[in-house]
A and B are shown apart, each in its own frame.
Chain A
Amino acid sequence: MKAATSIETTTAHPLTKAKLALAMLIFAAAGVAQAQSKNCIELQASAETEEQYTDDQGRAATRLVPAGKIVPGNEVIWTITAKNVCDSAAENIVIANPVPEHMTYVASSAMGVGTAITYSLDGQQFASANELTAKEADGSSRPARAAEIRAIRWTYTAPFPKGATAFVRYRATVN
């Protein structure tokens, strides 16, 4: 419960999401996928899939490739990369990502080095994996299923020094 409480305090600020999204779309269209200069954190998201291949030693191996043809049932690996582009350190960094519509979170797939990961069924209430509960129709609580997770939040435990880059990742299947 402690972890969940601290997250609430760090993310209490409302987002000006629509405005930012518009700005980002314009950047993306121009091929300049960059945050505004006044932002200290530059954030990128990418969709990839696993590809089986044979390495130069002739061994079967797996690598990530940009998401190919995606049909229902396919697994997509979402990677979100954050970079500190300011001269000073950034603290209390929290990356949040809703599981995209038409996708289902893959159990145990969220990772992020140096982060505490919390999950939400509604995008509002976040809790750690073993504290996440869902309400049954009769009002009773039960442990949440992975497929019910609709948003993920990664809270970095340490500040990002100047120029630091880190990424978080999870998997989701197309419904």
Chain B
Amino acid sequence: MTPARHLKRASLALIAMSSISVMQSASAAGTVAGTPISNQATVTYQVGGVTQTPVSSPTVQFLVDNRIDLTVAESSTTTTQTSPGLTNQVTAFTVTNTGNASQGFVLTAANMASGSASPFGGTADNQDVSNVRVFVDSGATGTPNAYDATDTAINIASLAPDATVTVFVLADVPVATTNGQFANVQLTVVTANDNTTTPAVQSAGADDPNVVQIVFGDDGEDATESSVDQYEIRSASLAVTKTVAVISDPFNGTDANRKAVPGAVVEYTITVTNSSTTTAATSVQLEDQIPANTVFVPGSLTLNAGALTDGNDADAGFYEAAPTPRVVVTAAAIAANSGTAVVTFRVTIQ
């Protein structure tokens, strides 16, 4: 009878228990590599009705080998929102050693090519980010799980079984990007020997029961895992309109018949509208030169119906006569969803 058949037969013996299977191990990574597992059987028996000295088998022992396994996960489950021109934009990942020995991990971060799928089921990559770098959370120093100046390591030197560390990918968003674009970055993690950057190599050949050998147990059995995060570029979208109205003329005053004749006062209204549905525009600076053949009316400058002094001082705007007569107004913020900033000033026609 073949051994396999014996085993099948034996399965009847414990059928009552077969529906229950619970792992005792508290650790997901399992028994630590190098742990010896030894076994010794004992037999008791009688000969001629006389109990004999019990006999034990030789001890059979092997060392638990090193299973390399890891998971790499994007931390936030949503896009990382950013804006054109911003630098050092941070996305976070976690790296978990699910193997059974301490390992080093070599990190690589890269911008992904256009068309790379969204990790969140949204729009695919259609923009690039630059200067992509990766840093390991220093944990004990600085702010845990948030990128700070203490996070300078570029590889994970040593991570214990079941331990997790946060890794930050930093990238710069080109100024040329526009609202609603998406850029993917990928973190790739290669398992290395502990406290080295030397990639782990799977042990070839047969097992040596007395040597801890390396077995790749991760998806794809390549000791390498990766994860993708996505930047969502959000930008304000501004449009400017300018209208002009005659306020009064020297002959008709403010009468309905007033005309834009020499001596008439004319008011310009400049409206800046933010059509972005998501992002406010801040520090919007507006400059308008005083038209030729007109003279600025002192004290006529307003922002959102609030008067501004002509001097270049603490308020949001000023008038300047030289070198070119002009008004300059800075709106602190223009809200999303058609928020506006309205600047008015008056001139007298020469």
Contact = CB atoms under 8 A, between A and B. Distances in A.
B17 A108 contact: yes
B13 A108 contact: yes
- What is the predominant secondary structure among interface residues of chain B facing chain A? loop
Given A10-B44, A117-B13, A148-B22, 9 more contacts: A13-B54, A41-B55, A45-B41, A69-B207, A73-B30, A88-B48, A94-B45, A111-B10, A174-B37
A162 B48 CA distance: 13
Contacts, number: 230
B40 A45 contact: yes
Contacts of A111: 6-7, 9-11, 13
Q: Which of A46, A69, A107, A112 has the most CB of B within 10 A?
A: A69
B46 A90 contact: yes
Contact of B14 (A16, A79, A129, A147): A129
A96 B15 CA distance: 21
B44 A11 contact: yes
Contacts of A4: none
Given A46-B60, A111-B6, A94 B17 contact: no
Q: Which of B6, B21, B45, B64 has the most CB of A within 10 A?
A: B45
- What is the predominant secondary structure among interface residues of chain A facing chain B? mixed
Interface string B40-64: 1111111111011111111110101
12 contacts: A13-B51, A39-B55, A41-B52, A63-B4, A70-B207, A78-B39, A79-B3, A93-B45, A98-B39, A104-B23, A106-B21, A169-B10
A63 B41 CA distance: 23
Contacts of A42: 55
B276 interface: no
Contacts of A104: 23-25
Given A45-B40, A117-B13, A20 B54 contact: yes
B37 A103 contact: yes
B136 interface: no
Interface in B12-35: 12-18, 20-25, 27, 29-31, 33, 35
Q: Lowest 7 A-B CB distances belong to which pairs?
A: A111-B10, A72-B30, A71-B67, A108-B14, A175-B25, A43-B57, A45-B57
Interface of A: 10-11, 13, 15-17, 20-21, 24-25, 27-28, 33, 35, 38-47, 62-64, 66-73, 77-80, 82, 86, 88-98, 100-104, 106-113, 117, 129-130, 132, 143-148, 160, 169-171, 174-175
B92 interface: no
B100 interface: yes
Contact of B40 (A21, A72, A90): A21
Contacts of A24: 40, 56-59
Contact of A16 (B31, B37, B53): B53
B249 interface: no
A170 to B, nearest CB: 8
Contacts of B37: 70, 100-103, 174
B66 interface: yes
B56 A92 contact: no
Nearest to A95: B43
Given A108-B15, A113-B6, A44 B43 contact: no
A89 B47 contact: yes
Contacts of B57: 24, 43-45, 80
B187 interface: no
Given A41-B55, A42-B55, A108-B13, A47 B42 contact: no
B225 interface: no
B223 to A, nearest CB: 13
Contacts of B39: 45, 47, 78, 97-98, 100
Given A96-B42, A175-B25, A25 B67 contact: no
A73 to B, nearest CB: 6
B47 A91 contact: yes
Contact of B24 (A97, A112, A130, A175): A175
Contact of B31 (A17, A82, A102, A106): A102
Contacts of B46: 90-92
A95 B41 contact: yes
B45 A107 contact: no
A109 B14 contact: yes
B59 A21 contact: yes
B213 interface: yes
A10 B244 CA distance: 112
Contacts of A78: 39
A157 to B, nearest CB: 13
Contact of A70 (B20, B24, B38, B64): B64
A97 B49 CA distance: 24
B62 A67 contact: yes
